[in-house]
Each structure stands twice: as structure tokens, then as C-alpha cells.
Structure 1
Amino acid sequence: MSTIDAKTHQSLNELRGHAKAWQLVKAEELFRILVLGSDHATLTLVSHDLLEILEEFQKRRKRDLSLLLQQTLERGPRHAIAPTDASGIEKVSSVFNGYQSRMAVLADKHIFQWATYYRDNCTFILKDVVSQLPSMHDYTEAEDRIQAIFADHSREIFSKGYEKVQERGLPHEIGLAKSIRGLQQFLNVIVGVLRDQREGAPSKPHAAMQWDIASAMISGILLGYRSVASGDLNGRELLSDYLNTWLPTLGFCRGRHAILLTEPGHSVFNGSEASVCSLLMGVDRWASQASTPAVLPKYSRVTIGLSRLDITYSMGVDRVSQDVAAAVFFGSPLYFKDDLADAAALADVVVAELTNTTREWVDSSGANDVVDSSDVQGQLAGFSALAETVAAILTGRSAPASAKHLSGRLLRNYAKDFPLDDPLFREGHFEVERHSVNRIIQGLQRGVGAYVWCSVRRSGKTTSAEAIAGPSGERMVIFQSMDHRPNSPELNLLSSRIRSALEAGNAIQETFFTELVADCVVATTQANAPKRNLVLIIDEYEMLFEIIDTYTERSPGLKALVSLPLISQMLGFSIKNTLLFMGQRPDAHMILLSQNQLSPNVRQYAFPLFEHQPGTSSEFAILVSRILGENLRITDPFVEAVYQETKGHPYLTVNVLVDFCEWLMASTDFELGTELGGHYFAEFSRERLEFVVLRNSPHYRLFHKMLAEFSSERSRAQEPWLYSVTSILREIVRRHPKRMNCSLAAFDQIAKPFEELARNPSRQLLASAAMANFFNESKGTVSVGIPLMARLAATSTSRSLS
């Protein structure tokens, strides 16, 4: 089985860019290279993408290239036996047998490889089923077959996953955490696939088919998980106990599929069946009405601190999407009227099991968008009646007379919807695939050694590394974090074992690190210790060496018993595999230097921010579109202008776009529907990114505080490299506030006072800081790496070197 590699993804993005820009000669050339240069398995996976891109071509080119694609696919893999003709029924059966075979290969060879094999193959299956549906007599049978395939697969892989953890002798808690996390990731794969298709659904029937099949996949995964029974792992009990972790995904389910989870004696809703299912069934009925434009689920999340599921649906109105919001309370009756009032203020319809207090509030306030589920005792007929009420409310809210067309001034800050501090919600809904990171990892797999991967805070290192963890091709990527993860003990296994060894104070075995890595493989992926190259990523690695150093300083005997043997074993691991330290500082591993054999062999590797090529569907362009949503019409010049300010730093990009939307809301010359050109961001920059304004802006507080901390005397003593780099950055901006760059000679002069402190000559300091995205050097000129961060550094509290 194949997956789509980073180079192919990049080629597809370039092809889309050329086609949309009507650079058809270049587009045709690249199309032919992709078709003729890809192996058959990869070409099959991208075939639907290629067909979509062909819609941009002129008739003749479209016909010729479509024929080329079809003939290449029909030829099949080399040495393959030509298929025989079959009847229509046999062909349909063969199609589903093919999907089942794909999932079987995933279970056998690529289990838990969510970001690669699962994403690519689930995308292919959804696109392929939707393309086949018009020729099928019974859509329901297709949904049932897909649901059954995914249910069988889910039951198999999650049973296997827990059994492997038990076989290795790891604690039940690690197997449990791995199982729940795996379920979230599998569900988020389908949410991400549907999200990508939603952005290009050409018609209401097409959108409905995509939603139907994605819903069948999601419900199949949950039904399969419910039937898992392996040792102490009981799927039904876990779904009930961890309702908050998977319920958001149910917002992407059809009501007719969700109701299968309410089977008497096997329900997973903890008494909330009526509320949740009647809402989803009501949405189904509303969306299926002839008068309702195309509807697709957009966002779904459980509100932190409340047992409330908030679902946002996008509804097409005059080719512009309108958001329709629904909310449902689950878990217990709703006692607090303020919670109900808050939900009613935000949503078009609210479903809840009301109590006397909340029912009185509904009666007194005249709220006609609240549906009371308290009288329904799990009877399907009762669900149906509530669903009719939900559908009627939504129909009234979306009727032509009451539909709110997106026009006039901007009244909502769409960038604030981006969940900066909610990574679980960000997965699936807002995640951007980092092909640039994948390419680096693919490069590392071809070699061995120890590397340090540095970048400024909040640049997407952890998110990217977690996304690529798992086996792929010739490598196995294992992710471990030194940051405490109470809900993910499987990611803290390395941290906890090393702390325990230091606490015990006994001499570690010669195989200590090798055995620890083998346990991490089983705890975080789904394979025994593989006979292939390993890439071990240790996030927040500074803490690892700080812990070793602190324990050794406190108990000098640990140096010979634990600390130096452990460091030597890490070096030994890197001789045959890849060891990747990830953090913010390139020098944190430099401890116990008189006998530390690892540090001299550690090389720094540059971490890429979100890549951008003007005029293409780049990582950064996708990020900006995710942040601003589909209701603001961004243009290539606008994306380029934002990129020049943040250089692809994700956190600062969200910050600046929140600031921009606030500025836009106050603008008197912008109306919804107007294209956002580069001149809008240029005008915003003149008004809001000036030093005086930035110093008091509430939108950049984290970076203001962080950069002030880097400039502090404490940082100078404890983190001299960070202190030096930040001080140099501030000084360049102070001297050249407009152009924010200087010559190499001027940089040497500015950096000279910090060479002794940073234990690096100026040019080495520049090289390491450039790889960490603080600076950029080109043709004898040193520029700040991220202009917005440089401005913030210049406006944070200053500390002198003396």
C-alpha cells in the first residue's frame, strides 16, 4: 500500500496554483509528470484530486489529459493481470471489497499511522464512494457497507492496540490513554477529510453525499469501538466515561447514524440520548428540505467547563456561506438558567433536558428556540417528535425572509474562532498538513545522528511532530515530551522513566535507553520494536538535560551511575538511528562537558515555519484561510502581505489576524463580500503595528511577556543564548526601526558584547539563531527572521547587559 509523500503533495499544490492562474502550459506539463511519474498506488490515491483540477482546463486539454489519466490507471501496476469484465452488481461489490482490502492492509501493516496512510486512504475511499453513488441503486446500502467496513476495522485495531501494550508489560493507564487518543485521532482523520471536501463541494446533492459517507465512517468507528472487549478495556464503558473526548465528532454525524449508538443496554450517551439524537435528527430533516440550501457541518466542540455540545453548520446563501448554530446540553438535567441563557444567545436552536428553574426561564423570557427533552424517556417516537420541532425552528431561522445575507460591515471577529489554546478542537477542524516538516523527517530517515531542532516559541514544533509520529516507509517516528501531559502518560514515558532512574540512584543497565525506546514504540504507535530506522523526537528537551544536571549537582554520585551512562547510551542510539531534540535553545544539551560524548556530535537543524509560495495553495495560504474562514474573501496579495509580517509563524499569524479583524470591524469602507486585497493589510499595519500602538496592544500579551522574560537578568544567568539573541534582535530594531536589518559587519559589532556570554563568536551565534528563525542572512545583509516578533521585542521591557 502507498501513501502520498510530501513531494507529491507539493506538486499537487503547484498544479492547482498553475491551473487557477490559467498558466495552462505549465499546468499541463506538471500534470503529465505527475501521471506518468507516479507509481500506480499513489496515482490511484490522487486521481480524484487530478480530476478536480482538470475542471480548470479548457475543453481540449481537459479531454486529452483525462484520457491520459484513465489509460494510465487502467494499465494497472506493472505485471498486473488485466481485470475481466463484470456485471454492474459485481462491479459494485468489487468496489466495496476493494475498500475492505485497503482497510485490511492498514490494520496489518500501517496501523495507527493516522497522518499518512489513514488520511490518504480514507480520503480516497470517501471521494471514490461519492463518485460511485450516482450509479448505485441504493444509497443506504452503500452507507451500510462503509459503516460495517469501518466498524470491523475499528474493533480490530483498538483490540490489537491494547493487547500490544499488555504484552509489553506496560501499565493499564498507558494502554487506556493510547486507546482514547487513537480513537480521537481516527475520528479527526474523517473530520479533516470532510472539511477538505466541504471547501469544494459543487452542489447540494454532492455535499449531502459527502456528509452521508463521512457520517457512515464516523459512526462505524464508534460502533466498532463500542464492541471492543480486551482485558480490562471495555469499549462501551470507555465511550460512556469519556463522552467529552468523542462527542464533538458526533456533530459531523447524521442523526440516523448516531441513533445506532442508543441501542438499549448498549447506549453510550449516559442518559442524553434524547437531547443529542433529536438535535441531529432534526438537522437531518431541515437539511433535506427542498427549500434549504446546501448544508454541511463546519465546527463541533464541547464547551470547556460545560456539558454543552456546540455545532456550527454552513448553509449556502447566494454562493456565500451563512453559519447556523445549534447547541445541546448533555450528561444531566440543566439546572442553571444562566447557562441556558448564554446558549440561547449564541445558537439558533438549543436542546436540553430542562428542570423547573430553566423551564420557568424559558416561559418568562419567551424563548421559542429552546427544545425541552425532559419528557422523552429513550423512546424513538419521542426523538422523532423533538426532531420535528428542531427542524421547524431551523427552517424558520433559515427561511428566505429571515435569512441573513452576508453584507454590510463586518460584525464578527472570525479570527477569534481559531482555537489557539484548544489543540484537541484544532485537530481535524483547523489543522494544516505540514509537508515542509514531512520532507525534513524524510531526509533525516536516510541518515543517522543526533540533531537539535530549534525555533521560537509557539511556532508549531510540537503539533507538527505529534502529527508525523508513527511508522512510515523506512522509518518509525516516536514522539516523547518532557512537558507534563496528565492526559497522555504514553507521551511522558521517557520522562517518567528517566526521573525514576535518577530518584532511585542505582546504576542503570547497559540496555536502559534501548529498552526505554522499545517501550515508547509500543506505548505510542502500534508495532513491536521495528527492524527499521527509528527517529526519536524529544520535545521540550531543555528540561531533560536540566533534570539530569540538577540531580547530578544535588547527588554527585549519580554522574557515574546514571547521568553519563545515559548520555552515552543516547549517543549509542544515534549511531544507528536518529535522535532529534526539539526546543527553543540549541545549547541545552551542553552539560557535564568534560565527559559528555554526546554534545560534540549534536548538529542543529533548521525548523521550517509555514511555507509560502506566492499564488499557490501553500501551507501558509491554507493557514490564513483556516483562521479567517470562508466568509472573508482573501486574495493572494493579502496572504503575501500577512506572510511578510509573520513569515509563517502560526501563533503570531493568528494574533495579527485577530487584531486585523478588530480593525476591519471599525472600518467604514469595508463591506462583507469585498475582496481583501493587500492594501487593507498595509493600511492596518500603518495604524496598528507601529511601536507605540503595539506596546499597549492586548493581542500580543504572550509574546510581550515572553520576550521581556528573555531580556531579563534571570534569563541572562540561566539561558545566556536566548538572552543574547533577543538582545541583539532588539538592538537591530532600535538602530533600524524601518528596515529592520543591518550589514554583517554591523551585526558583528552589535553581537560582540554577547560572544563571551553566549560562548559563541558572532557568526556562529548568527547561524544558530537563523536556524531558530530569529534572523535571516542573505548576501551580506542580516534581517530579522519574523518582523512582527522583532517589533514586539523592541516594545517589551528592556534590560541592559551591564
Structure 2
Amino acid sequence: MTKSIEAVLAEAEELISRHKYNDAFDNLISLFQQCSQVDIKRLHEPIKEIIGRFMPKKRRMLGEELDSRLQRSGKVAAVDLESDAPSYPGHPIRLQQFIASLDSRFAELSEWHIFQWSTYYRDELKVIVADTVELQRSNSHPEAAFDAVGKAIQAHSSEIFGKGFDRVISQGRTTQEAAVAKALGGLRSFLALPVEIYAEDSSRISEPKGCRALRRVTSRMLRGILAGFLASRLGELNAQELLARTAKSWVHVLPLLEQADLRLLGQSIDLEAIASILGRPLELLVQELDHASAKSSVDAVVVTSTQVNIDDVSIDLTLRPPADSSDTKPLEIAILGGDGLLRYQIERRAKLGYIACLTPKAVQEYWKGTFPTKEVRDIVVPMPAEGSSSAGFLLSRLRLRFYENTVVVQPSVPLKTNIAERFPLESPGQLPFFRVERPSVRALQTTLSTRTGVLLWCSVRRSGKTTGVSELASGIADRNAVFQRCEMTDSDKASRMLYEEVCDALDRAAPLPRDFLRSIVSRAAPMGVQENRGSILIVDEYDRLFGRLKVMGRRSEDARTLVVQPLLDQLVEFATENLLVLLGQQPNAHFIFMDQNQLSAYVQQEPYPLFSHEVGSPESEFHELVRRTFQQTLAFDTSFVDAVFEETGGHPFLAVNLLRDIVDWLIKRKAIPSATLLTRVLYREYAAEELTVAAIGRSAHYKFFREAASEALSDASIEQGPWLHAAYKLLRHLAVNSDAAGSTSFEHAQGYVDSMLAESGLGTYTGNSFLASAAESNFVELVDDQVRAKIPLLARISAAVGVAR
């Protein structure tokens, strides 16, 4: 299909309104024959409404065609067991339906939505996980369901990676190295989905049986994905050698595997040959998790994060504490390997309060001549000799730590641990455990699916643009979405191809090939896309790219004439039939060499959504962010979430740091978790003490944005980043001169902006246009002739640094 299903339905409605019923009928028949069954089910109600507008005969024919499409064998989860479904003797009907639906779901994904990870794949895997857990709860042959999931996803993984690799190579525009990079990128995205679903669902399940089922189906999925990749045909490449070379990008999921799945995976790839820590030490860890999970009669054993460090020969794993414990500290375990001295690693984890460190030797071996502290002795567990049984050390420590044994943590113990600091702002590799699904970003899919031209999304640093839009790009159904980062640090070479090759061209100052941009879009495209689809090129940190073009073009006339100008022309040519999306901070960065710049005339800036929230809502994106940050350890109500949202505007990085600061304040007050409910009233007490200019200037949690604001407000920024300089000056002005509600009149704000535009070298703006641009970039809000900071906390931080001019 060259059009989206929404476009076909809209066209049918238009034809009906003009009484062209035959044309509308033909279009719908063609749609039912070609469209994905998933899409038809998704829009089933609108389709039935459109069918109802035809005369009886055509209405009946369309209804029969629609029913036929939905019941077609091999294409639908709702299987007719008496005719088309395979028979599974001895299995109850409900289980037969589930097993039959797996093949149907994966066939749909392979045929219609291959590699659309963030949309169709996530949706389908969530349903599969939920159905499997429900089968386990109902005792409907759960082991057969778990095994079926593993087999189905393994077969699907093998099929799609082999098919995708063949398609990339057959197109003839991509090197084998680039094809491998695409395959590995797809593997990382696929593996992230079961982890994200496990983290999301486990945060809502408290009973042990459901959590055991959730971990088991997650284990089957992860093992199936990896085993399928290992079995896929990647030309002449050896998949085992490829995964061994790139182990750091996928081994972090291994601690989520159950022992049986780990052993099965070990039959396809020698994990111990990759790193010794992935051999017996890892197996001991998962064995302990299996044992503790099976034997825990009160509290579920839930993994909240994993970290595998091949270089340091260590594995760190975090478990969720019981919800009714007064000690909110996560339960942390480490497996330490290697032949070197482990004393420092053990001491560091003892100070952090780990409950166990599994080491190759007894603790005395690392403290020869001295005596280890009691804290060290309590956590070190020597690995048992090969062949001996070790199951039990983790469960015994869990019971010792909490109330299942005689040693009970008293409910009056004050808060000691800042749980919000566990949110991995500084460790992006652990983000899948904390990912918040964002319908507000997914809603942008319609924009990306149907538009052409140049779209500009700007926002404050650390707004979640990169994560949100890169995931969005992987879910576009009808167009070839290519995500490019303007940086040299990303491990995915395919994602930085544009920036690297532009930099190389500028350094050479040689004529840019006429097909330079289209060649990059083709070579950087994800696996599995059709060549004849329209394209979307998303350029992240675009201001960095245009900054380099500006500097090199000014430095060298050859670079400007032979590289910069042709590139701008090619961007314009691309945007006439496709969509170019620019992501960054500064909406004016594309204004370079305006005497010959055609691109800027096509740029349309639109607002990029921060985390959304409605007052009192317990289901919003922002409420979920707060919930995932506290990990069920601190109780809060919706009034507290409302207050935090008002202060941060839904900015994720600043919201988490504000929550960290709040928990520090609670620790300082010696708050007792079981006796503390976070409310708006309590937040106001915190704000009065800790959101002063002096307190913000001291807090370690705001260091990043203090530095960002200080740089933006500096004299050097007037020339280097005039738009950001003016934006931060405006924020500082609002923080110092606004009324009690944090607002100032539009007229006053416009006058202030007019006074500083000339000084900041922003003559292309008026006070009115700058305020509009700042609002679309999440710096300010324009409400009822009032101007206020979109993120009041950022305005406070701006007031806490430097001196305003």
C-alpha cells in the first residue's frame, strides 16, 4: 500500500460525500485485500461506520469482504478452531487459541510491520505477555504457553533479521559493515521491548505468582530473540562471532534469564568465552534468583535494574524492596569475578549497602594481614565449589533483611536512602527499566506519516527529544524514517553517518556529490524498509551541524561554495517530496548565509511536547514518571504530582532532579516512610525551604542546568548563541520580576525582549516573534495575555547564577 489506512478511509468518506459510491466501494475492497489485519482491527469501528453509508447491496458485500479478511487463516488471532487452527492434543481450547494466535501475530508483524519496534511490536508483545501471565494465573497449562512464546519469538527473530539483512544487501547501496550495524541496532531495539514491558508490568504487580510468570515470559522472549538472531542468515557472516564482538551492547539482559533459558542460550553461543563472568558466576546468580523467587512466600522477587561490566568483570543487580517495608533502599547484589584484588570493589559495595557480593574466594583472601569490617564480612559470599549446591544465599539474605525472619526492620526507622537517585539519568543503558510510554509523542506519528517539508522541533536541553523521536521513528508504518545524530560519541555508526560525512566533506572542501543526501538516507535507513516509500530524515542536535557549516563556510570560500550551499540545496530538494525534521535547542540555527539560503524559508517550527499531565490525573505520563522514580517506596497523592508538574512543566530531567532534592529534604527531616504521604501541602513546606535562590545555588541536583544557564547568560554567549542568551535572560527576568503567580503581562515581556534583541544580535526577531518562538521551544508559556516560565524551576536556576545584564 502506498497510502496509510487512515488516508484511504478519509478518501472514501470524501468520495461518498460527493456521491461517488462506486469509487469509494472499489477503494475499500482494495484496502481490505491489502491492508494489515492489525490496522483493520485497530480502526474497525470507523470502517463499520463508513460501510453503513452505502446502499444495502454494497453494504452487504463490503461487510462480507471485511469479515472474510478478519477470518482469513494465518492472518488473525481470532482463530476458528474447528477449521483452520492447528490441533494441539491434550491442550484446552483456551491454550490452543493462545498458541495459534502467536503465529498469527508474528506473521502480521513480519508481513506488515517489520522492525516497527516502538509501535506495533511493543503493542503486540505487551498483549502476549499479558495473555501468558493470565494463563499462568488460571493454571491453563502455563508451561506450554511459556514454551510456545519462546519458540514463536525465536522463529520470528531468525526470519526477520535474515530477511532484513538480505534486503539491505540486495539494494546494493550499503556496505556489509553498514548492514551489520543496522542488524545490531535492530537487535538492541528488539531486546529492549521485553525489558521495558517487564519493568512496567512488574511495577504494578505485587503478588509473587504474577511476578514469577512475568519474569518467565520475559526470559523466554529474551532467549528467543537472541537465539533467533544467532540462527539467522547474515550473508557469509557468523552470527556467533558477531555477537561475541559486540557483547557489550546486549549482555545486560542476561541476568533477566532463568537458568533453563540461560543454558539453552549457551548451546548456541559460548558465553564464558566472551567473558568469564558470563559463565558460572552468571549461572549462579540466575540460579539464586530462580530459587528465591520460587520460595518467597510473601514478597515478590522483582529485578529493577541490571548492569553487566565485562571490563570490570562484575554484574550488579537491583531488586525491589517490599512495599510495606520502612526501609526504602533497593536490595543490591553483585557478582565479582577475575583474578585480581577485589578489595576495593567489595568495600565500595559494602558502603552502598549491598546485601550480597558473590566472590571467587572467601573474604579473608582479600584482606591478608588485616581484618575486614563487619559490613564487609556480612555481604561477601564465596562461590561454592563446582558441582556443589549453592541455592539459598540470596533467599536467606532477603529474609534476614525483612520481616520473614525474626530480625524485623522497625516501622519507626527514618528514611535513609534517596530512592530517586536510582533513576538512571546518568546511565542511559539502564533506561529500559524506567521507560515511560508517552502517548503524546506517539500522537506525533500522524504528523510524520503524512507531511512533507521542513519541521523544526526545539526544546530545552534534556527534554527527552532524542529518546522520544528516535523511538517514534522506529514505529512509522508508511515511510522510511532515518534518525541521525550530530555527534561522534554514539556507538551506532549508522546513526551518525550524516554528521561524519558532512564533516569530512567540509575538511576536504571538495565538491559535494549530487546524490550525497539521498545516498545517506538510503544507506542509513533501518532494515526492512521498502525503497519506494517516502522518507523522513530526522536530524538531532541540528544546531551543531549548522554551527559547523557556518564556521567552515566563513573560514573557507571553497567549503561554502562546494559543500555548504549544495548541502542546503539538497535539503530543500529532499523536503519537496519528503519530510525533514530538525531537532535542537536554538530555532534560529538554520539562519546561515541568508543571501543564498533557500532552506530557512521552508522551516516551520512547532512545539515539542514535554511529559503531559492533567490536574488530579493518576494516569498521566508525568504521574507515571513520578511513580517510576519512586519505585513504590514512597507514597504520594495526585496533589503532590500536580505541584511537581507545575514547577517543572513536565521536563523529565529537571523533574527527577527535583524529586531527588525533595527526598534529600525528607532525609534531613528524618521522615519515616511508612508515616509519610507526599502531598501538595508537604511540597509547599519543601519549596519554602529549598526552592530559594540560595538553596538552588547549593543543591548538587541542579548542577547541570546551573552550568547551562551560566554559560547561556555569559558575554561570550551573545555571539556564540544569541537566541539561548536571550531566552535565559528572559527566564531570569521572569523569575525576578513576575507576580506571585510567576506571570508578567505580555506587554511588559514584549518590551523587555525588544530592549535586548538588538544587543543580542537577533535583529531578525521582534519581541512578539521571539516570545512565540520561545513558547514553541518550551521556555515560556503565553496564557491570556500573560507570559510565564514554562519550567519555573529553570527560571529559578537562571536567577541563581551569574548577573543579568
Shorter-chain TM range is 0.7 to 0.9
Q: Is the 8 A contact 1:335 1:357 kept in 2?
A: no
Q: CA deviation at 1:509?
A: 3.3
* Secondary structure of residue in 2 paired with 1:295: coil
Q: Identify if the C-alpha distance between structure 1 residues 395 and 98 changes in structure 2 by more than 3 Å, giving closer, same or farther.
A: same
Give the direction of change, closer, same or farther, for the CA distance of 1:646–1:134 in structure 2 (3 Å limit). closer
1:26-49 Cα offsets, whole Å, 9 max, x none, are xxxxxxxxxxxxx984798999xx
What is aligned with 1:712? 714
Superposed CA deviations along residues 546-586 of structure 1, whole A, max 9, x for unmatched, are 22222222221333332222211111111111111110011
1:137–1:703 distance in 2 versus 1, CA, 3 Å:
closer
Asked if the contact 1:212–1:254 (Cα under 8 Å) also holds between the matched residues in 2, the reply is yes
Matched, 1:250 2:254: yes
The answer for the alignment partner of 1:570 in structure 2 is 571
Q: In the alignment, which residue of structure 1 is the partner of 2:306?
A: 300
| Structure-2 separation of matches of 1:595 and 1:227 | 53
Distance in 2 separating the partners of 1:117 and 1:271: 37
Deviation by residue 1:266-294 (Cα, 9 ceiling, x = unmatched) = 34553332111112112211221264532
Q: Would the alpha carbon gap of residues 121 and 403 (structure 1) be closer, same or farther in structure 2, given more than 3 Å must change? A: farther
1:768 aligns with 2:765: no
Query: Match of 1:618?
Result: 620
Contact 1:481 1:495 survives alignment (8 Å): yes
Corresponding position of 2:335? 328
Aligned to 1:635: 637
Match of 2:692 among 690, 696, 720: 690
Provide the rounded CA distance (Å) in 1 between the counterparts of 2:372 and 2:769: 71
Larger mean CA deviation between 211-220 and 432-441 belongs to 432-441
2:535 aligned with 1:537: no
CA contact (8 A) 2:203 2:631 kept: no
Select the residue among 728, 731, 735 that pairs with 2:737.
735
- Change in Cα spacing, 1:119 to 1:646, as seen in structure 2 (3 Å) is same
2:804 & 2:712 partners in 1: Cα distance?
A: 9
Consecutive unaligned residues in structure 2, runs of 5 or more: 7-35, 45-65, 73-78
Residue number in structure 1 paired with 2:407: 402
Counterpart secondary structure, 1:603: strand
Per-residue deviation, 1:253: 2.0
Map of 2:76 onto structure 1: none
Give the SS at the match of 1:411.
coil
Matches within 5 A, 1:267-306: 267-268=271-272, 270-272=275-277, 273-289=279-295, 291-302=297-308, 306=312
Match of 1:791 among 788, 793, 796: 796
Q: Structure 2 vs 1, CA of residues 324 and 694 (structure 1 numbering), >3 Å: closer, same or farther?
A: closer
Q: Secondary structure at the residue paired with 1:327?
A: strand
Distance 1:656 1:588 in 2: 30
1:212 corresponds in structure 2 to 216
**2:436 maps to what in 1?**
432
Task: Specify whether residues 265 and 682 from structure 1 end up closer, same or farther in structure 2 by C-alpha distance, changes over 3 A only.
Answer: closer
8 A Cα contact 2:251 2:308, kept in partner: yes
Where do residues 307-456 of structure 1 align in structure 2 (5 Å cutoff)? 307-314=313-320, 316=322, 318=324, 323-330=330-337, 332-345=338-351, 346-354=353-361, 358-360=365-367, 367-373=377-383, 375-376=385-386, 381-382=387-388, 385-398=389-402, 399-404=404-409, 408-426=413-431, 428-456=432-460
**Structure-1-length-normalised TM-score:** 0.84
For 1:550-569, list aligned pairs within 5 A. Answer: 550-569=551-570
Q: In the superposition, relative to structure 1, how do residues 229 and 292 fare at CA in structure 2: closer, same or farther (>3 Å)?
A: farther
- For 2:577, the aligned partner's letter is K
Equivalent residues, number: 729
* Structure 2 partner of 1:26: none
For the 8 Å contact 2:291–2:395, the answer to whether it is kept is yes
1:218-233 residue pairs with structure 2 within 5 A? 218-228=222-232, 230-231=234-235, 233=237
Taking the aligned partners of 1:275 and 1:40, their CA distance within structure 2 comes to 46
Q: Structure 2 vs 1, CA of residues 162 and 307 (structure 1 numbering), >3 Å: closer, same or farther?
A: farther
Pair 1:80-2:71 in alignment: yes
Residues 513-572 of structure 1 show CA distances to partners (whole Å, capped at 9, x for unaligned) of 222211121xxx213454333221101101222222222222213333322222111111
- Deviation at residue 94 of structure 1 after TM alignment: 4.4
Q: Does the 8 Å contact 1:470/1:476 carry over to 2?
A: no
Question: How far, CA to CA, are the matches of 1:402 and 1:569 in structure 2?
Answer: 70
Q: Post-superposition shift, 1:671?
A: 3.6
Offset of residue 161 of structure 1? 4.1
Q: Higher mean Cα deviation, 501-510 or 617-626?
A: 501-510
Preserved CA contact (<8 Å) 1:327 1:351:
yes
Corresponding residue of 1:65: none
Shift of residue 632 of structure 1?
A: 0.6
- Report the alpha carbon displacement of residue 647 of structure 1 after superposing the two structures with TM: 0.6
Question: 1:688 Cα shift?
Answer: 0.4
Between 312-321 and 282-291, report the one with greater CA deviation: 312-321
**Letter of the aligned partner of 2:482 in structure 1?**
I
Query: Which amino acid in the other structure matches residue 775 of structure 2?
Result: A
Cα offset, 1:76, TM superposition:
7.2
Partner of 1:143: 146
Deviations 1:665-699 (A, max 9, x none): 11255543532111111110000001222223222
| Preserved contact between residue 660 and residue 701 of structure 2 (Cα < 8 Å) | yes
The Cα of 1:776 is off from its aligned counterpart by 1.0
Q: What letter matches 2:690 in structure 1?
A: R
- Structure 1: give runs of 5+ residues left out of the alignment: 7-38, 48-74
Q: How far 1:440 sits from its partner (Å)?
A: 2.4
Q: Distance in 1 between matches of 2:68 and 2:359?
A: 55
Change (3 A) 1:671 1:550: closer
Give the percent of matched residue pairs that are identical in Structure 1 and Structure 2: 28
Map of 2:683 onto structure 1:
681
After superposition, the Cα gap between the structure-2 partners of 1:204 and 1:671, relative to the gap in structure 1 and judged at 3 Å, is closer
